[in-house]
Amino acid sequence: MTARRWAALWVGLAAPLGASVAMAQATAPAQQVEVTADKPDDTEQRRREPVAKTIYGREEIDKYGDTNLSDVLKRLPGVNVSGGNPRLRGLGAGYTLILVNGEPAPPGFSLDNLSPSQVERIEVTKGPTAEHSAQAVAGTINIILREAPRQRQREVKLGVSFLKTRLTPWINASYGDRMGDLSLSLPISGYQWRSGFPSTEERVSRDVASQPLHVFSENETRSWGNGLNFSPRLSWKLSDTDSLNWQTFAQNHNFHNAGRNRVDVLEGLAPISVDDQWTNGGQWQMLRTNVQLVRRWADGARVDVKLGAQATRSWYRTDVDGTDGRGSHTLSRISTGDNREHNWTSSGKYSRPLWDRHSLALGWDLERRHRSEVRSVIENGASQLLGLDGEPFKADIGREALYIQDEWEIAPQWSTYIGLRGERIGTASAGTGEALSNSSTVVTPLWHLNYKLDPKGRDLIRASLTRSYKAPEASALLARPSINASYPASTANPEISPDRLGNPALRPELATGLDVAFEKYFSGGGLMSLGLFHRRIDGLMRNVVSLQNVPWAAVPRWVSQPVNLARARSTGVEIEIKGRAGELMPSVFEAAMALSVRASLSAYRSSVDGIPGPDNRLEQQQPWSLTMGFDHVVKGMPLTYGVSLAYTPAYAVQQTTAQMYEQGRARNLDAYALWAFDKLTSLRLGVNNISPLDGYNRTLVMGAGGDLQSTVARRGNLANVSAGLTVKF
């Protein structure tokens, strides 16, 4: 969209309200100011929000003494974590928007590398809002980093974790102070980690001569590394109405892996090597900095302006040495990659009250991102990717958005939130032969409605009708082949082992969403909620395997390529209850008992047009999930302990008419105990993944010749024990 069209869109959004704003400036009465002695807790903040939002503060984040944020998220109601990526509504990667301080997390960012000590709170929103990107079909998880304190804070946490073989230490330290008009916060965390697990894979397929192949492989992997997080923040009170804030977030994560993979050939031709020893290492680095200026006026108007810049780099090297069945050295493969990205952002919001019942906001988001990649694969001295995806690659990604929103208190018991957001994403790439470009523009209207069943708002009904979307990732748009290394380009490959290729013609998925929820808040701080949702998704993106004539091989190859497949639907129900046991179950527990309980149950159903059932569900969406737990403060002792369980059942996904994927069940049982020596010193013991289940997945493909191809993978899991000492000054 051209600058002229964006200007026209902005005028179209703002013009109908121009006269109202001018009138409000002349007629708006003095605003009422509510002063409270204590900051509302997480539950009370949730009740006051104009949209369905759940807030988790420091108490919930610190509870189990976790060393990474993924372990915190996996216990939250309605949140599932797979491969370090949190997901809402059971939907897969890309449907949940991950924000850090209100801005999209960069590619390659992992919550496994973020220490909970760096986080002030977590905000989970189940529906999109105009202020943030509408790339939130399932919802938004906003990670708010530590804020500058109002008074001096000094805290040190020391701990160790044990997984399988040895202890790994970690340290979290935080210093905060206020000096006149300047407040600062200096949280820093350092950690080591170590893991190891066995895995097996059984594959029934075709060999390089297109004859039946049956192999069984065993792999033993060892992983270790270390990292550092630092997120300083400064807040400067320029005047009674103006402030300037600066936040920087730096990450450095180093990883190493080593292992051995042995293959037993039960039928067919053996691969070039059957006994591989491999090592892998690399680093992830990120530096993000933002400056925010806030200015307020006596009539309630406010302007927030942010400017930010970010740089990330990740690199890796993998070495594989393999021997054949007679012990002869037959394989030497070196794979390297170096990815760099720079971006800058600008955002702003102007808000002001209109009359005595409206709060109007207008804003913008701008982002420019430049990404460069260099990869190489050298096998037995010869380059395997020269002229293909081994060529240096560059991409420029731009995002522009304008939005307008109005929070309107219709009546004492009725309130609504109406928003409209226009967003454009453009990608231009070079380095894969022909220069390619792709752009998409989406306009998303949003409507949220709240009704208080009682004057105090203890019982609420929330409803929303929204438009959201899922944009294709840059890697899915690029026509860069990734060749399956098990089948040289001079031979054919089977359907279950395809090459991979992007699709520059991909369009965003568009989703229309309906949400309805009932929330009941108890006087003792507990709550119960029941929510229903439905999403209709147009242009669903899914990888489809087809036989193609390709430039990197002399024979046709099976290639997996993303396409806009069809329309899909997803429907679900989510139930949550938490609070003091004596308030929720007075006939079972005493009212004074310091026992808090929580539970959530979510059930999901989805279907994709054109794919036969009964398992034609959206990928990675489990049929249901359960979380439950309790916390107990022992009477007469400085001891608190708790247990948490998260469980999802096994399920199958019919991905295409010829391919099915099966995922095994998952269970996470965690426990902790906290002993408070005094108000400033405490010791916490924790165990994560008690009685672990092995991971399991299976892929089934019906070949073009009628043969059934399959891959079955199993992975061992281990419990993790940790201990941490907290000292406050």
Residue 477: enclosing H or E segment and its boundaries?
helix 474-477
Give domain 3-309+317-323+451-728's CATH architecture.
Answer: Beta Barrel (2.40)
Across 49-53, 131-135, 165-169, 347-351, the highest mean pLDDT is recorded for: 347-351
First-to-last C-alpha distance (Å) of the chain = 55
The dihedrals phi and psi of 452, each to the nearest 5 degrees, come to: -90, 120
pLDDT category at 13 given cuts 50, 70, 90 is very low
Candidates 189, 337, 296, 199; CA nearest to 253 is 189
d(CA 441, CA 439): 7
Distances in Å between the Cα of 540 and the Cα atoms of 97, 182, 471, 511, 700 are: 17, 50, 11, 9, 22
**pLDDT, position 68:** 85
Burial class (CB in 10 A: 0-12, 13-18, 19+), 363: buried
Position 209, amino acid: A
- Give Dmax over CA atoms of the chain in angstroms: 90
d(CA 219, CA 33): 64
Candidates 205, 337, 234; CA nearest to 292 is 234
- pLDDT per position as a tens digit, 149-161: 878 889 999 999 9
Distances in Å between the Cα of 519 and the Cα atoms of 47, 238, 452 are: 8, 40, 10
**pLDDT, position 373:** 86
Tokens of 68: 């990474």
**pLDDT, position 402:** 97
What is the SS3 assignment for 12?
Answer: helix
pLDDT category at 4 given cuts 50, 70, 90 is very low
DSSP conformational letter for 482 = B
Domain ranges of the chain: 3-309+317-323+451-728
pLDDT category at 476 given cuts 50, 70, 90 is confident
d(CA 217, CA 264): 6
Where are the extended beta strands (E) located within 380-496?
382-383, 393-411, 414-430, 436-452, 459-470
- pLDDT per position as a tens digit, 565-618: 999 999 999 999 999 999 999 888 988 899 999 999 999 999 999 999 899 999
pLDDT category at 356 given cuts 50, 70, 90 is confident
How many C-beta atoms surround the C-beta of residue 233 within 10 A?
23
Tokens of 347: 């955002």
How many C-beta atoms surround the C-beta of residue 18 within 10 A?
10
DSSP conformational letter for 116 = G
Candidates 231, 221, 146, 234; CA nearest to 188 is 231
What is the SS3 assignment for 110?
Answer: coil
| Rounded (5°) CA angle 564-566-572 | 115
d(CA 464, CA 445): 11
Q: pTM score, two decimals? A: 0.88
**pLDDT, position 153:** 87
Burial class (CB in 10 A: 0-12, 13-18, 19+), 236: middle
Distances in Å between the Cα of 726 and the Cα atoms of 252, 421, 639, 723 are: 24, 45, 15, 10
Position 383, amino acid: S
**pLDDT, position 408:** 94
**pLDDT, position 12:** 42
Residue 39 makes CB contacts below 8 A (sequence gap 6+) with none
Burial class (CB in 10 A: 0-12, 13-18, 19+), 30: exposed
Tokens of 649: 């059942």
Give the least confident one: 161-175, 234-248, 377-391.
377-391
**pLDDT, position 16:** 37
Please state whether beta strands 233-237 and 242-267 pair in parallel, antiparallel, or not at all (unpaired): antiparallel
Q: Is the pLDDT of residue 313 over 50?
A: yes
Position with higher pLDDT, 7 vs 639: 639
- Find where tokens 């680093």 sit: 283
Q: What is the mean pLDDT of residues 425-430?
A: 84
